[in-house]
Amino acid sequence: MAAVTAGVLALRDVGFAYPRGPRVLDGVSLALGPGERIALLGANGSGKTTLLRLLVGLATPTTGSLLLDGAAVGTSRAERTRLRTRVQMVLQEPDDQIVGATVRADVSFGPANLGLDRSEVVARVDEAMAALGIADLADRTPNHLSFGQRKRVSIAGAVAMRPRVLLLDEATAGLDPRAVEELLATLSALAEAGTAVVLATHDVDVAWTWSHESLVLGGGTVRRGGTHELLADDDVLAGARLTVPWGAAVSRALNRIVLRPDEV
């Protein structure tokens, strides 16, 4: 149990079921530590978004506990506010999250509501927009931006809160390859600075190339391990209805090549 509670954010023996619905998660325990880069994988309906919502306090466990710095998080407004100043979630659809009339106003929304002085808000917003490569869009209206740009705006709003844990739901979906590459580089930089980053994705190739570890959801439980080990395991892939990542496929193909002595 010590290992489960050692991280910044943790779930301890968590189960979850929607009202009058089936049980989505059952006995899930995991901990997220500083600087971790984790991919969250699973088939549609496996509970990826539900797990993220539990971690950020948007859903309450049916059984078990959510812990922040080793202490259980209560259901009071004060406790939830404390959690959300440290843990941020970026939704799959940016339009569900963007509220400001301009990019700067939107990215400012969270820090301004923390009661910070104006200079601190401005510093956080400028830093977040620079990190996401949208400083030149500061005065633009979000609904006039491309889908990829709006995604960056929504992520910048979360980054401006300087969270210790950043959760992203399908952040690379709908982006072109260059935009995906740039976004993953930004997420890596955030992790290197100490933020735990969890990226829920259907893209096993993104997980293979970006994450150190993966969480694979299936049957209400979570399996955690090194990404390359988990995603090269045929039983894990089959159980979660995932395809073989290109990196694993190439490695397997190379291992099947046996040169004759006269070819060496």
pLDDT score, position 257: 54
Helix, strand, or coil here: 264?
A: coil
Domain boundary assignment for the chain:
2-263
Q: Quote the CA–CA distance of 76 and 13 in Å, as a whole number.
A: 21
Q: Quote the CA–CA distance of 233 and 136 in Å, as a whole number.
A: 44
Average pLDDT per 10 consecutive residues for the chain, totaling 264 residues: 60 93 91 96 91 95 95 89 92 94 96 93 96 95 94 95 96 90 93 96 94 93 94 90 83 62 46
Q: Quote the CA–CA distance of 32 and 194 in Å, as a whole number.
A: 12
Enter the pTM of the model.
0.90
- The answer as to CATH 3.40.50.300 being correct for domain 2-263 is yes
pLDDT score, position 260: 42
And the tokens for 124?
């956080």
What are the CA-CA distances from residue 158 to residues 13, 94, 171, 241 (Å)? 28, 12, 13, 31
Q: Which of 232, 214, 234 is nearest to 223 (CA)?
A: 214
